[in-house]
Structure 1
């Protein structure tokens, strides 16, 4: 099996950041609003594909990178991840151990902030509820599996859009609903510094509007139940920033705005 790291980045004019990421495998870089010299096609003896793009939006970058990839296994990456030595071997060996898995989530530790994440300590085959525990940079994918199911990231949500989060949960839910097998393994492959997050601005109305959209897309019929479980279960997390009623109403507002956005796109 061959693996590629799929990196979404912005406004780069060089590949210096790959050194900080400790890249040691074949790589695809989608560089929005930047200009890395197009003749750069190798990095430390490994294949490097670079696409400079004028379009913005994290989900759009993810989809573009997937379309450029030719690998068996793809690792979803942001440009602020630092990978552990031997990460490629760890990932490929895990797929050999679990050949039935279509998607495997690994451990990417969070450092430098208050939003640290407690990872599960045992292997777990994911279900609709446990998918919420997975972040995008923890995801690896069998490329042919998602290609056969015609899966992609929703380009109307995620960083760089009006609804700036939740694209990974929607993607994983779509994959699960279409019969793909998703596994979590407690193996660390990297870490990310969250001290200066570019998308998280607090538990405000914008945050809950985006949550409302992602929950709606994950379960259009029973999304309001997801709203209720989240606002009650996570109340201690956000209670200093917004009250329970306002959080719920923001979710509903986000859903309405998303539906209007999609209707507008169809009418154009």
Structure 2
């Protein structure tokens, strides 16, 4: 197959907050200066904390809105690369990550999104990844981290694939934004595949791993209702049993967590009733 994509066509969209210097990019690229890459920074900040760039390859948008999904969407709206790589400001890129991504797209030119692997700082895989390339279904995309995600920009814009701004850190429901983004891509009959290459290093813990926190319970139960409707109440019982087994929570704490889950379902149902979102994407 003829090679369609090159390193120059890859753009990294970095979400960050309250920056006034580009120095945070230095540890993200330990093998090369960051100006050697095409980068779009979305800096969610206030008017007293403005970020500027003197490098033509590094563009900056200072946004006065809050919310991770809003940051991602602003990046997608203003990106110029053929392929976009979603990134946070706490990742470390692995040398030759660009070549790995480009190779995957040249071998899979009909894929809209390709997901890769993350290594932890102690050199282990972040998750139990498949051993070989494969297409991801709705169950498998739940495990994808946003920092493992790349997409063809043309497909996203043509099919209006955006992050749901009700979900994600800083939003009403602070979890699951990557899952619903990928789910919307699959709902539009576009391909999401996994490719077994490591591209980033990250701490062995992410914000979505805190399964027992009030924030995650509230958001996930809202998300379960978005996916499963009335069956989300059954998932809530199963989730409480999971927390009881994994964290050995006392019954009094389980009752509190159950109430938080119910409120997540209730609040999302109100949003649906007001037609501010749709269960199906």
Question: Do Structure 1 and Structure 2 share a fold, with TM-score over 0.5?
Answer: yes
Structure 1 residues 79 and 178: CA distance shift in structure 2, 3 A: same
Within-5 A mapping of 1:38-117: 39-42=53-56, 47-111=57-121, 116-117=126-127
Structure 1 residues 29 and 129: CA distance shift in structure 2, 3 A: same
Q: Distance in 2 between matches of 1:154 and 1:210?
A: 13
- Asked if the contact 1:110/1:117 (under 8 Å) is kept, the reply is no
Q: Give 2:221's match in structure 1, choosing from 212, 215, 220.
A: 212
Structure 1 residues 159 and 194: CA distance shift in structure 2, 3 A: farther
Partner of 1:120: 130
Q: Distance in 2 between matches of 1:265 and 1:52?
A: 31
Partner of 2:170: 160
- Asked if the contact 2:11/2:81 (under 8 Å) is kept, the reply is yes
- Asked if the contact 1:174/1:218 (under 8 Å) is kept, the reply is no
Q: Which moved more, 1:177-186 or 1:251-260?
A: 251-260
The unaligned stretches of length 5 or more in structure 1 are none
- Asked if the contact 1:169/1:214 (under 8 Å) is kept, the reply is no
- Asked if the contact 1:40/1:50 (under 8 Å) is kept, the reply is no
- Asked if the contact 2:147/2:200 (under 8 Å) is kept, the reply is no
- Aligned-partner SS, 2:26: helix
Q: Distance in 1 between matches of 2:179 and 2:58?
A: 28
Partner of 1:257: 267
Structure 1 residues 255 and 75: CA distance shift in structure 2, 3 A: same
Structure 1 residues 169 and 198: CA distance shift in structure 2, 3 A: closer
Structure 1 residues 118 and 229: CA distance shift in structure 2, 3 A: same
Task: State the 1:259 CA deviation.
Answer: 3.6
Q: Distance in 2 between matches of 1:147 and 1:98?
A: 19
- Asked if the contact 2:85/2:149 (under 8 Å) is kept, the reply is yes
Q: Distance in 2 between matches of 1:128 and 1:265?
A: 24
Structure 1 residues 185 and 9: CA distance shift in structure 2, 3 A: same
Q: Distance in 2 between matches of 1:82 and 1:142?
A: 22
- Asked if the contact 2:117/2:126 (under 8 Å) is kept, the reply is no
Output the TM-score relative to the length of structure 1.
0.84
Q: Report the count of equivalent residues.
A: 258
The unaligned stretches of length 5 or more in structure 2 are 277-281
Structure 1 residues 199 and 93: CA distance shift in structure 2, 3 A: closer
Structure 1 residues 64 and 81: CA distance shift in structure 2, 3 A: same
